[in-house]
Amino acid sequence: MLATASKVNIAEEDQLRADLYDYLAALLAGPPSKALLKKTTALQGDGSDLGIGFKALARVASAQNEKSAESEFNALFIGVGRGELLPYASFYLTGFLNEKPLSVLRKDMTGLRITRAQNVFEPEDNIASLFEMMAGMITGRFGDPTSLDQQKEFFNRHIGPWAGHFFSDLEGAKNSVLYAPIGAIGRVFIEIEQEAFRMVTK
């Protein structure tokens, strides 16, 4: 996505949310680089479900290299013809790609002044793109930071109805090794966001 540079101060908890959205987006947009794998091996966690996921991911990442991570990513998301999983809202919500959820998303992107990057060819309802959008909305990457009500509306329309299912599928996928704990982290994070947004009233 194309971002409008904007330096703003946001609450620490919102910055942490945005950082996790961005981190998961980077892992899901393409095979992790050597630098991203190194960053991942340094993750630490506590006894919470999210913390346990971070510790598991760090442990698994320490046994990976760029080649093995790329091979796993390709098996999961690219494959011969198609990968094991199709990480698109349209597919999870309708069973087909490029359906109504994508057109609704594009309309909402226009309203939020989010434009597709010229070098990105994936449909915008890819999970990585949606997470990048959420991070940008929180931090003001596309202008001013959006309100919690706007974040809730976007999340409930474009992420909440299917992302938890996707991450559960990723966690249990046949080809998931590095991506199994990523699936667990994503699933728990979606649950946390859903619960937090339930408490946001207009």
Cα distances from 33 to residues 40, 70, 91, 119, 129, in angstroms, run: 10, 9, 27, 18, 18
Residue 46 has pLDDT above 90, yes or no: yes
Asked if residue 6 is part of any domain, the answer here is no
Asked if residue 111 is part of any domain, the answer here is yes
Asked if residue 41 is part of any domain, the answer here is yes
Residue 8 has pLDDT above 80, yes or no: no
Asked if residue 5 is part of any domain, the answer here is no
**Number of folded domains in the chain?**
1
- pLDDT for 7 equals 53
CATH of the domain at 148: 1.10.3480.10
Asked if residue 7 is part of any domain, the answer here is no
Asked if residue 165 is part of any domain, the answer here is yes
Measured CA to CA, the distance from residue 54 to residue 60 in angstroms comes to 10
Cβ atoms of residues 131 and 28 within 8 Å: yes
- Provide the residue range defining the domain that includes 139: 12-198
pLDDT digit string, tens, across residues 63-72: 999 999 999 9
pLDDT digit string, tens, across residues 127-182: 999 999 999 999 999 989 999 999 999 999 999 999 999 999 999 999 999 999 99
- pLDDT for 145 equals 94
Measured CA to CA, the distance from residue 179 to residue 76 in angstroms comes to 9
Counts for the chain of helices (H) and strands (E), in that order: 10, 0
Asked if residue 74 is part of any domain, the answer here is yes
pLDDT digit string, tens, across residues 57-110: 999 999 999 999 999 999 999 987 789 999 999 999 999 999 999 999 999 999
Please, which pLDDT band fits residue 6 given cuts at 50, 70 and 90? very low
178 dihedral zone (left: phi>0; alpha: psi -120 to 50; beta): alpha
Please, which pLDDT band fits residue 200 given cuts at 50, 70 and 90? confident
